[in-house]
Amino acid sequence: MADKQRLHFLFITSSHQGHISPTLHLARHLATSTGAAITFSTTVFAHRRMFSSTQDLITDGLITFIPYSDGYDDGFKSEPSIFTDKFHSYVRTNSKRSVSELVGNLAGRGQPVTCIIYTIVLNWAVEVAREHGIPPVLYWIQTGSVFATYYHFFHGFESLIKAHINDLSFTVSFPGLQPLQIKDLPSFVRVTNYDSADGSILCLFREMFEILDEEKERMKAMVLMNTFQEWEIDVVASFSAELEAIPVGLLPKETNSGAGYLFKEDEKKYMEWLDTKEDGSVVYISFGTMAVMKKDQIKEMVKGLKKSKKAYLWVLRNDNREEGVEIIEEGDQDGNGMVVEWCSQVRVLAHKAVGCIVTHCGWNSTLESLACGVPMVCVPQWSDQGMNAKLVESLWGCGVRSEVDGDGVVKGEELVRCLELVMGDGEKGVEIRTKAKMWKEKALVAGSEGGSSDLNLRAFVRKISD
């Protein structure tokens, strides 16, 4: 125990809510289960939003929060046009310098960092770790299947995919994965213009896997994965000879705390509203923190929800509400739902009244839905979301992917069809709900004390201790 208490993990993550949430969840679990010291660092801009404070050092008793500067302490407008090589170089230079100073300062206080855990494409964090003689460990916050896709893409499959990039129905068979069509692959591997924003991100992914290959020359690189071993056992085995993949998926937790949130929770009493609804009767709709729903999509969503006559709880940020689009809430004429700007998603998904989620299929939302046993209607947008939707529908069988029109909009009639399929009394609906319950039970076992995630994480800590 004395050795474990001397361990000090520095978590480095970007300013996106979808990166902060799973990383902070793992950090808290590591602190409580091992007694290790934890420092959590995200950008100055995100840190200030999380705590509504300009104070740089904040502690909650378990974790010390100290931000790093990426050069955009006042934030930036997240538009595709900004994500150029020049932008990434500027962020890299500032972030690397700031985190290096942070590591030095911690050592100067008698709190030397013994391991740096960094998230997706923060490749500069590895440079900092090497400069200070600290082992770096990647925390992969997407599915093991998506990791395997990138891995095999960069290790032998790139030319095949590029040769068929315009044939969306062309099927690729990666080791350990079910057959996937080009349209199912992460959007970044389908890039044709390398000078685009997506092209620059693909370059960061390529560099990330090159770094893992470099580590392999000294010793097998360790990669922590935000997934449950039982959900993707064949996938993890497909590259285990090259990398040590460590599934450490954790059970989502209900919380009333805003710690770690970049958004203020809506003051509407949505949990009390859910309490008034019958079991499995409510449709929960959320497209995450980055996606912006098109005006036409909002209109079609309203049309479908009204036609379905199902109660709904819809998360729609104020910056995504279009003028001229009337969203009818309960209490209004023909209203049957509640619209909030932000909510505690895990608390909602865990509520017995929720019978389905209409989701963009970001991995955090997908994992939370799976772990809570909530069937899904998938409306993927970009990045890994299309592949997550494929897994939900074809591998895990606990949801359905909606059809979209030429503009990527789910029509109201299609939404009604999907909701009836997932929530209805037909054979398919029963099967989907049964499988959703099964994956929830597997997650409960894996995420509990003595389960695979717990044992994997403890084994990882022992290796860092040696």
- Contacts with 110 (C-beta within 8 Å, 6 or more apart), sequence order: none
Tell me whether residue 425 is exposed, middle or buried, using C-beta atoms within 10 angstroms of its C-beta: 0 to 12, 13 to 18, 19 or more. exposed
The partner residues of 357 in beta bridges, in order of sequence, read: 284, 376
b/e map of 118-135 (b: 16 or more CB within 10 Å)?
Answer: bbbbbbbbbebbeebebb
404 and 382 Cβ atoms separated by less than 8 Å: no
Active site residue 29: no
DSSP state of 81: G
- Contacts with 281 (C-beta within 8 Å, 6 or more apart), sequence order: 310, 311, 353, 355
Chain centroid to Cα 32, Å, comes to 22
The amino acid that residue 65 corresponds to is: F
438 and 446 Cβ atoms separated by less than 8 Å: no
Count CA atoms closer than 13 A to 33's CA, side-chain side: 22
Q: Which is the catalytic residue, given 8, 16, 19, 88?
A: 19
- Rounded-to-integer distance, Cα 101 and Cα 231, Å: 40
The amino acid that residue 132 corresponds to is: H
- Rounded-to-integer distance, Cα 461 and Cα 7, Å: 9
Helices (H), strands (E): how many in the chain? 17, 16
- Rounded-to-integer distance, Cα 88 and Cα 28, Å: 29
- Rounded-to-integer distance, Cα 168 and Cα 191, Å: 13
**Which helix H or strand E contains 59, and what residues bound it?**
strand 58-59
- Rounded-to-integer distance, Cα 138 and Cα 116, Å: 9
**Which alpha helices (DSSP H) does 109-268 contain, by range?**
124-131, 144-152, 158-163, 197-218, 233-237
Q: What amino acid positions are annotated as catalytic residues?
A: 19
